[in-house]
C-alpha cells in the first residue's frame, strides 16, 4: 500500500546568505557592569535588541522569498534579559512594536517558529540556583512569544540535561523539577534525544510520563543506535505529539567525518535523510524538519536540490515536499 508524507524544511537562527543580519548581537555582563548608570545600560541593551529583532525580521522576509516556512529563532534576541542584573526590566514592553510586527508576519505567512535555549538551561539538576536561572530563561522565551502573539505551546526544545548523579537519577530529577515549574512554561517545552547522556528511549520515558512532545534527532539516534531499532521507537515518538496543535518535529544533521562523528557537517547527507523519510512515510501526514547544519539556509537549499534527484520525492518548495513510500498492510 502506497502512502505519502508532506515535509517542511527549516533552519537555525541566522542566514549565511544575508549580509550584516545577525540576530544575536550581545553585551557581556562585564560590559554592562562597567556602565555606571543602569538606566543607560538598559537603553543600550534595548538598542542591541532592536537591531537583533530587525535582523530577525529581515531573515524571515528572506525566508518568505525562498518559500521557507519553518525557522528557529535565536535565543539571544534580547541580551541579558534573563540575567539578575536586569531584573525588573520590561524588555517585552520596550520592544513590543517590533515583536508584534514579527508575530504578525509569521502568522500572515503561515510560518512555524520556535526556540532551542542554550545548553545551560537544565531542568534535571539538583541545584536550586541552576533551576531558577533556567526558569528565568524559559520565562524570557515565553514573554517574547506572548508579545509576538504566538501561542507558546510546544515552542522550546530542551535536552534532558546532565547525569552527574547517574542516568536514572537524572531522569527522575527532571520529572521532579518539571512538576515545580509553572504550567504555562511546562506546556512550552519539547524534549530531544542527545548523543551522549540520554538516548531516545530515555527521552521517550519522560515524554510519555509527562505528556511532553519528543523531538527526534536523527544524527543523535544514528550515533547510539542501529538502524533496525528505528521503527518501534519512531512510532512512540509520533504518539507523544497526539495532543499538540503543531505537526511532529524532528532535527537532522550529518556527521562531519565518519558515520558516528558527533560533530555537525556543513551540509546534509541527502541519501541518509531520504532513507529515513521513506521508511517512516505513512506514520504521519506532516513532518517539520529542522536542519542543524553549519551552512544554515545554504545547507537547506542544497538539500532541496539533492532531494529533487531522488525518485521517491517530489519537491515544489522547502515547504512543499512529498515523499512516497510503501507501507506493508
What are the boundaries of each domain within the chain?
2-326
Report the half-sphere exposure of 327 (CA within 13 A, side-chain side). 14
Is residue 60 within 8 Å of residue 78, measured between CB atoms?
no
Average pLDDT, the chain: 95
Q: What is the pLDDT of residue 263?
A: 87
Dump pLDDT digits (tens) for 234-265. 999 999 999 999 999 999 999 988 777 888 88
3-state secondary structure of 191: strand
Q: How far apart are CA 215 and CA 190, in angstroms?
A: 7
Estimate the share of the chain in helix, then strand, then coil, as percent rounded to the nearest 5.
45, 15, 40
Q: What is the pLDDT of residue 226?
A: 87
Please tell me the pTM assigned to this model.
0.95
Take residue 318 and report the three cell numbers written for it: 522547502
Residue 250 vs residues 36, 237, 277, 294: alpha-carbon distances, Å: 46, 10, 11, 17
Q: What is the pLDDT of residue 259?
A: 78
Q: What is the pLDDT of residue 106?
A: 98
Residue 328 has pLDDT above 80, yes or no: no
pLDDT greater at residue 193 or residue 227: 193
pLDDT greater at residue 192 or residue 312: 192
Q: What is the pLDDT of residue 329?
A: 40
Q: How far apart are CA 69 and CA 72, in angstroms?
A: 10
Q: Residue range 276-297: average pLDDT? A: 96
Q: What share of the chain in percent tops pLDDT 70?
A: 98
Fold category of 2-326 in CATH: TIM Barrel (3.20.20)
Q: What is the pLDDT of residue 1?
A: 55
pLDDT classification of 324: cutoffs 50, 70, 90: confident
Q: Which helix (H) or strand (E) holds 44?
A: helix 38-65
Q: What is the gyration radius of the CA atoms in the chain, in angstroms?
A: 20
Q: Residue range 84-109: average pLDDT? A: 97
pLDDT classification of 277: cutoffs 50, 70, 90: very high
Phi, then psi, of 156 in degrees rounded to 5? -125, 120
Phi, then psi, of 265 in degrees rounded to 5? -80, 165
Q: Residue range 152-164: average pLDDT? A: 95
Q: Give strand pairing partners of 321.
A: 7, 315
Report residue 21 CA to chain centroid gap. Answer: 20
Q: Residue range 111-132: average pLDDT? A: 95
Q: What is the pLDDT of residue 257?
A: 84
Dump pLDDT digits (tens) for 204-225. 999 999 999 999 999 999 999 8
Q: What is the pLDDT of residue 88?
A: 95
pLDDT classification of 76: cutoffs 50, 70, 90: very high
Q: Residue range 292-296: average pLDDT? A: 97
Amino acid at each position: 500500500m502506497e502512502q505519502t508524507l508532506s515535509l517542511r524544511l527549516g533552519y537555525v537562527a541566522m542566514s549565511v546568505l544575508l549580509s550584516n543580519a545577525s540576530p544575536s548581537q550581545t553585551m557581556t555582563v562585564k560590559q554592562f557592569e562597567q556602565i555606571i548608570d543602569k538606566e543607560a545600560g538598559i537603553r543600550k541593551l534595548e538598542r542591541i535588541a532592536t537591531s537583533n529583532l530587525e535582523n530577525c525580521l529581515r531573515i524571515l522576509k528572506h525566508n518568505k522569498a525562498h518559500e521557507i516556512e519553518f525557522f528557529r529563532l535565536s535565543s539571544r534576541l534580547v541580551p541579558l534579559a534573563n540575567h539578575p542584573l536586569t531584573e525588573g526590566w520590561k524588555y517585552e514592553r520596550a520592544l513590543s512594536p517590533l515583536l508584534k510586527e514579527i508575530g504578525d508576519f509569521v502568522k500572515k505567512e503561515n510560518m512555524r517558529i520556535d526556540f532551542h535555549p542554550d545548553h545551560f538551561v537544565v531542568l534535571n539538576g539538583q541545584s536550586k540556583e541552576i533551576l531558577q536561572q533556567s526558569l528565568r530563561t524559559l520565562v524570557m522565551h515565553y514573554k517574547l512569544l506572548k508579545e509576538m502573539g504566538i501561542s507558546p505551546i510546544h515552542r522550546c526544545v530542551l535536552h534532558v540535561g546532565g547525569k552527574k548523579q547517574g542516568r536514572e537519577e537524572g531522569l527522575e530529577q527532571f520529572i521532579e523539577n518539571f512538576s515545580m515549574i509553572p504550567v504555562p512554561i511546562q506546556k512550552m517545552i519539547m524534549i530531544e534525544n542527545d548523543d551522549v547522556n540520554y538516548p531516545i528511549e530515555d527521552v521517550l520515558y519522560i515524554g510519555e510520563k509527562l505528556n511532553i512532545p519528543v523531538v527526534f534527532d536523527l544524527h543523535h539516534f544514528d550515533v547510539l543506535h542501529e538502524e533496525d531499532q528505528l521503527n518501534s521507537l519512531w512510532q512512540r515518538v509520533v504518539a507523544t505529539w497526539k495532543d499538540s496543535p503543531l505537526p511532529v518535529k524532528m532535527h537532522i544533521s550529518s556527521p562531519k567525518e565518519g558515520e558516528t562523528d558527533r560533530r555537525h557537517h556543513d551540509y546534509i547527507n541527502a541519501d541518509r535523510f531520504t532513507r529515513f523519510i521513506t521508511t517512516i512515510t505513512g506514520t504521519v501526514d506532516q513532518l517539520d524538519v529542522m536542519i542543524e547544519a553549519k551552512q544554515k539556509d545554504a545547507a537547506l537549499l542544497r538539500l532541496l536540490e539533492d532531494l529533487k534527484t531522488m525518485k521517491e520525492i517530489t519537491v515544489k518548495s522547502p515547504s512543499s515536499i512529498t515523499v512516497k513510500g510503501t507501507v506493508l498492510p
